C-alpha cells in the first residue's frame, strides 16, 4: 500500500446530495472532483435507479440545488448561465438536452417545485428599485469596464461585507415563481427585507419567512408565515432565531421546522419543532435529546454538500440527522413526539434523503472519504450504492484513529482521537501534532480528514479533540466556551496532550507541534503565548487581536459580543483574550498562514502578529495566499490548497525531529 500524499486531493472524489426520485425507486447524487488542469472543482449528476448508476451530466461545471418534480418530468438544478450567473436549468433524467429556464441579472440563489409540479419557486437577490439603483443600471449598460472606470462603494450599514463574497451592495432576497407551461414569471415577495420560501403545499399554500426589522444590523432572527392563495399572510409564532428548514407533511397537516434559537446565541442547539397547521400549536420534539439536529462537522474533503436535516417519509413519520459524540447519526421521529436512533455508528452522515421504504445516505468514516448507501427502513440494513473511492481507500495506507476520552481540570469529560504515524513500529519514538478545529461551534468527527492523513503519512502522530465549545455534545458543553476563551478550552486541549503523552511512551514529548485554523488559529496563538510545551506551531486564518477584530471582520461587531462577551467599550476584556497581548512569551517558532481575501478573520490579524513577533526578534514566517478566502483549506483553489499543506508540513519537518529506534 502506498502512503497518502498531499496531491491526493486530485484522486479523492466527493459523493454528496442524495435526492430521492419521485417514484421512490432510487435517487440522484452528485460527484465532485478537483480538476488539476482548470484548477477548479467539477460536479456531475448521477442517477441510481435501484439497480445501477448512470451519469446524467458531463460538463465541467459546478451544479447544485437538484430538485425533482413531485409527479415526474424534468428535474431542476442550478448552474452558471451564459453570463456567469447561476441560473435554473431543467434536465430529463433519461437523456435529452438541458434547458435554461431563468436569465436573472443577479442570478438565482435557490429553487424548489410547487407541490403540484406546475411551478417553480425561486430566490433572487437584487437592489431595491430606488432612483440610484435605476441610474446604476443605466450606467452598467453604457459602461461595462469596471476596471477602467472604478466606482466607489457607499456603505450605510454594518453588514456590508461577507467572506467569500466581498463588499456587499444593499441587496435583498425576493421570491419569484415561473409557470412551467406558460413561462410566466411572477414576483411573490420583495422589498427591503429578505424573504425565503421554505415549502409549498396543496391549494397554493406556501410557508415563507422574512427578516424584516427596524434594527437591521442587530437583527439575527426571522418570522415565519403561512399564506393560502390570495389570502393574507398569517404568522406562525415561534421563538427568536432562524429556520434552517421547514417542510409540510404529505397530507398538509403538519409543519416540521429545524430551528436555531437565540438562547445561547450561535452556540444554541438546532431543534425540531412540530407545528400543527390545523390547531396552530407547536412543540419541540428534540429539546430533551440535548444534541444539535443537523451536521456541524469540521472537515476538508466533502464537497457540494447541502444540509438536509429532516425529511418526511409518511404523513406522520420523518427522519432526521443528529450530531452526537463525534458522529452524525440517523434518527426517526413521529408527530406523536416519539424519537429514536435508527442508524448509529462511528461515521459521518453528511447527506440524507428518504422515501417510505429507503433512506439514501452519503457516509464517510475516518479511513474512507465517502460513498452513497441505501438504508432499508424495514429491516434496517445498509447497502452500498457507489464505490467511487474504493480504489483509493484500498490502495492507500490510511490510518484508523483511536478514540480517546479523558477528564479535564474540572472533571469535564473530553472526547477526541489519536492517530499513529502511518509507518509506526513498536519501540520507536515519534513526534506528535495537535490539530485544533475552528468554529468554535463545530466538531471533529468520525470522518475522513485529508490533512490528518497527510500528517500521519509524514511520520507524525496526530491528536485532535473536541474541547468545550464543540458541537455534538450537551448544550451546556457547547456554550461553556463563550466568555471563557483561553481558559477552560485551553485546559481541555492541554489535558488531552498530557493524557496521551503519559499513556503512550512512543510519543516524543520533546518534539510536539500544534496547529489550527480560525478559532483553532486563535487557540494556537494562545497556546504558544502560555506554554513552551510545543517545539513548533502553525497558525492558520487566525485571530490575534479581539480589539481590532470586532471592527474589521464581517461578523466582528456581534461575534465579539456573543463569544468574548465584551461590548465595544470593554477594551480590557477584549485585550485580555487577545493572544497578541502575550507576544513576549511566544518563544515557539510560529508559521503564520493567511488568505488575502479572508473577510472572516482578515489578514490584518496575521499582519499584526507577524510584525509583533519580528519586532520582538522571535522566529516566525508569514505566508499569504492570493485569491483565497477563509475557506481555503476546504474549498480554495486546488493549487493553493496543496501549497498550504506543503507549507504546514514543511514547517513541522524543519522543526520537529523524527527519531528512530
430 touches 508 (CB < 8 A): yes
22 touches 72 (CB < 8 A): yes
116 touches 138 (CB < 8 A): no
Of 518, 542, 578, 633, which residue is the catalytic one? 518
Beta bridge partner(s), residue 310: 320
Helix (H) or strand (E) segment spanning residue 142: helix 131-142
Residue 412 cell numbers, joined = 469535564
- Cα 571 to Cα 84: distance, rounded to the nearest angstrom: 45
Residue 572's Cα: distance from chain center in Å? Answer: 33
Residue 181 cell numbers, joined = 407551461
- Cα 279 to Cα 293: distance, rounded to the nearest angstrom: 25
- Cα 384 to Cα 48: distance, rounded to the nearest angstrom: 11
Residue 528 cell numbers, joined = 504558544
With helix as H, strand as E and coil as C, how does 242-259 read? EEEEEEECCCCCEEEEEE
Of 210, 630, 633, 655, which residue is the catalytic one? 630
| 630 catalytically annotated | yes
| 518 catalytically annotated | yes
304 touches 43 (CB < 8 A): yes
Ramachandran quadrant class, 200 (left: phi over 0; alpha: psi -120 to 50; beta: rest): beta
Helix (H) or strand (E) segment spanning residue 359: strand 358-365
Sheet holding 110-113, edge to edge: 110-113, 119-126, 172-179, 185-189
Q: Which residues are catalytic?
A: 518, 630
Amino acid at each position: 500500500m502506498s502512503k497518502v500524499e498531499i496531491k491526493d486531493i486530485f484522486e479523492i472524489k466527493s459523493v454528496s446530495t442524495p435526492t430521492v426520485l419521485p417514484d421512490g425507486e432510487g435517487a440522484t447524487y452528485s460527484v465532485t472532483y478537483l480538476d488539476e488542469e482548470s484548477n477548479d472543482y467539477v460536479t456531475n449528476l448521477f442517477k441510481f435507479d435501484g439497480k445501477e448508476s448512470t451519469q446524467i451530466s458531463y460538463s465541467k461545471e459546478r451544479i447544485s440545488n437538484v430538485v425533482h418534480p413531485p409527479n415526474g418530468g424534468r428535474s431542476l438544478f442550478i448552474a452558471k448561465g451564459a453570463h456567469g450567473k447561476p441560473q435554473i436549468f431543467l434536465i430529463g433524467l433519461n437523456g435529452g438536452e438541458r434547458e435554461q429556464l431563468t436569465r436573472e441579472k443577479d442570478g438565482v440563489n435557490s429553487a424548489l417545485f410547487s407541490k403540484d409540479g406546475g411551478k417553480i419557486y425561486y430566490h433572487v437577490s437584487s437592489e431595491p428599485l430606488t432612483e440610484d439603483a435605476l441610474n446604476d443600471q443605466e450606467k452598467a449598460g453604457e459602461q461595462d469596464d469596471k476596471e477602467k472606470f472604478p466606482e466607489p462603494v457607499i456603505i450605510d450599514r454594518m453588514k456590508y461585507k461577507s467572506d467569500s463574497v466581498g463588499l456587499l451592495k444593499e441587496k435583498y432576497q425576493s421570491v419569484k415563481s415561473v409557470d412551467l407551461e406558460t413561462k410566466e414569471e411572477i414576483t411573490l415577495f420583495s422589498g427591503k427585507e429578505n424573504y425565503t420560501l421554505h415549502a409549498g403545499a396543496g391549494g397554493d399554500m406556501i410557508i415563507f419567512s422574512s427578516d424584516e426589522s427596524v434594527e437591521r444590523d442587530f437583527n439575527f432572527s426571522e418570522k415565519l408565515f403561512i399564506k393560502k392563495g390570495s389570502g393574507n399572510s398569517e404568522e406562525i409564532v415561534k421563538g427568536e432565531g432562524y429556520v434552517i428548514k421547514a417542510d409540510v407533511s404529505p397530507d398538509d397537516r403538519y409543519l416540521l421546522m429545524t430551528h436555531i434559537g437565540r438562547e445561547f446565541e450561535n452556540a444554541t442547539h438546532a431543534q425540531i419543532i412540530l407545528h400543527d397547521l390545523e390547531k396552530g400549536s407547536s412543540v419541540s420534539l428534540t429539546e430533551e435529546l440535548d444534541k444539535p439536529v443537523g451536521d456541524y462537522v469540521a472537515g476538508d474533503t466533502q464537497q457540494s454538500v447541502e444540509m438536509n436535516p429532516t425529511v418526511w417519509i409518511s404523513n406522520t413519520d420523518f427522519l432526521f440527522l443528529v450530531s452526537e459524540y463525534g458522529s452524525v447519526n440517523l434518527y426517526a421521529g413521529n408527530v406523536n413526539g416519539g424519537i429514536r436512533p435508527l442508524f448509529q455508528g462511528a461515521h459521518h452522515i453528511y447527506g440524507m434523503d428518504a422515501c417510505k421504504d429507503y433512506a439514501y445516505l452519503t457516509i464517510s468514516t475516518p479511513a474512507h472519504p465517502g460513498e452513497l448507501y441505501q438504508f432499508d427502513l424495514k429491516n434496517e440494513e445498509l447497502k452500498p450504492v457507489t464505490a467511487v473511492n474504493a480504489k483509493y481507500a484500498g490502495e492507500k495506507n490510511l490510518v484508523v484513529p483511536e478514540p480517546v476520552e479523558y477528564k479535564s481540570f474540572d472533571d469535564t469529560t473530553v472526547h477526541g482521537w489519536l492517530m499513529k504515524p502511518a509507518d509506526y513500529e513498536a519501540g520507536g519514538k515519534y513526534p506528535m501534532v495537535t490539530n485544533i478545529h475552528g468554529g468554535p461551534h463545530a466538531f471533529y468527527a468520525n470522518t475522513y480528514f485529508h490533512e490528518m492523513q497527510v500528517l500521519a503519512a509524514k511520520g507524525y502522530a496526530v491528536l485532535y479533540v473536541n474541547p468545550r465549545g464543540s458541537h455534538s455534545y450537551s448544550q451546556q458543553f457547547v456554550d461553556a466556551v463563550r466568555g471563557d476563551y483561553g481558559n477552560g478550552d485551553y485546559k481541555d486541549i492541554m489535558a488531552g496532550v498530557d493524557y496521551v503523552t503519559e499513556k503512550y511512551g512512543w510519543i516524543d514529548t520533546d518534539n510536539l507541534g500544534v496547529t489550527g485554523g480560525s478559532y483553532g488559529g486563535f487557540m494556537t496563538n494562545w497556546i504558544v503565548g502560555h506554554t513552551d510545551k510545543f517545539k513548533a506551531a502553525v497558525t492558520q486564518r487566525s485571530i490575534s487581536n479581539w480589539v481590532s477584530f470586532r471592527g474589521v471582520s464581517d461578523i466582528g461587531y456581534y461575534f465579539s459580543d456573543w463569544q468574548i462577551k465584551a461590548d465595544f467599550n470593554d477594551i480590557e476584556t477584549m485585550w485580555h483574550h487577545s493572544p497578541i497581548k502575550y507576544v513576549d512569551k511566544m518563544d515557539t517558532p510560529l508559521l503564520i498562514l493567511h488568505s488575502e481575501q479572508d473577510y472572516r478573520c482578515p489578514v490584518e490579524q496575521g499582519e499584526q502578529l507577524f510584525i509583533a513577533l519580528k519586532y520582538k526578534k522571535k522566529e516566525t514566517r508569514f505566508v499569504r495566499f492570493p485569491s483565497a478566502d477563509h475557506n481555503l483549506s476546504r474549498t480554495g483553489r486546488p493549487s493553493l490548497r496543496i501549497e498550504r499543506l506543503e507549507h504546514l508540513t514543511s514547517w513541522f519537518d524543519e522543526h520537529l525531529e523524527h527519531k528512530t529506534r
